[in-house]
Amino acid sequence: MDNDTRLDAGLIQRIHAAQVAAHYAQVPAMIIAPCLGGLFSVWVLSGAVDDRAMYSGFGCILLLSALRYFVYRRFKAATPEQRAQRLWPVLAIVFSAASGVLWGSAAIFLYPPHDPAYQIYLVLICAVIQMAPTAALACYLPTFYAYYIPCALPFLVRLVLQEDRAGWASAALLLMLMAATVTFARKYYVDFFEAVRLRLLIERQRDQVQVASQSKTRFLAAASHDLRQPLHAVTLFAEALENDLHDDAARSKQRGLLEAAHALQSLLDRLLDVSQLDAGGISARNSQFALNDVLSKLVREFAPLADERGLSLRVVATRCWTRSDPDLLENLLRNLLSNALRYTHRGGVVLGCRRRGKQVLVQVSDTGIGIAAMHQPHIFEEFYQVDNPERERNKGLGLGLSMVSRIARLLDVELHLVSTPLRGTTFTVALPLTTAAINAPAHETVILLPNSSLQGRTILCIDNDAGIRDGWRALAATWQCELITAASEAEAIALLAIHSFDLMILDYTLAQQRNGVEVAQAIEQRLMRRVPTLIVTGDISDQPKSAANRAGYLLAHKPLAPGKLKALLQHLLA
Chain residues in the site for ligand ADP (CB under 6 A): 339-340, 343, 366, 368-371, 379, 384-387, 396-402, 425
Sign of torsion, CA 162 163 164 170? Answer: positive
Q: Answer yes or no: are the C-beta atoms of 533 and 572 closer than 8 Å.
A: yes
Nearer CB in complex with ligand ADP: 187/409: 409
Min separation Cβ 316 and ligand ADP, Å:
18
Min separation Cβ 229 and ligand ADP, Å:
25
Min separation Cβ 448 and ligand ADP, Å:
23
Nearer CB in complex with ligand ADP: 142/352: 352
Residue 110 to residue 108: CA distance in whole angstroms = 6
b/e map 422-457, b = 16+ CB within 10 Å: eebbbbbbbbebbeebeebeebeeebebeeeebeeb
Nearer CB in complex with ligand ADP: 6/423: 423
Nearer CB in complex with ligand ADP: 233/329: 329
Min separation Cβ 359 and ligand ADP, Å:
22
Q: What are phi and psi of 552, to 5 degrees?
A: 80, 25
Q: Answer yes or no: are the C-beta atoms of 364 and 419 closer than 8 Å.
A: no
Nearer CB in complex with ligand ADP: 313/505: 313
Nearer CB in complex with ligand ADP: 372/446: 372
Nearer CB in complex with ligand ADP: 269/489: 269
Min separation Cβ 213 and ligand ADP, Å:
24
Min separation Cβ 427 and ligand ADP, Å:
7
CA-nearest of 422, 415, 417 to 343 is 422
Nearer CB in complex with ligand ADP: 203/387: 387
Q: Name the DSSP letter for residue 378.
A: T
b/e map 279-309, b = 16+ CB within 10 Å: bebbebebeebbbbebbbbbbbbbbbbbeee
Beta bridge partners of 290: 321
How, if at all, do strands 503-507 and 533-537 pair? parallel
Min separation Cβ 374 and ligand ADP, Å:
12
CA-nearest of 88, 202, 210, 99 to 147 is 99
Residue 378 to residue 492: CA distance in whole angstroms = 52
Q: Residue 383, by phi and psi: left (phi above 0), alpha (psi -120 to 50) or beta?
A: left
Min separation Cβ 219 and ligand ADP, Å:
25
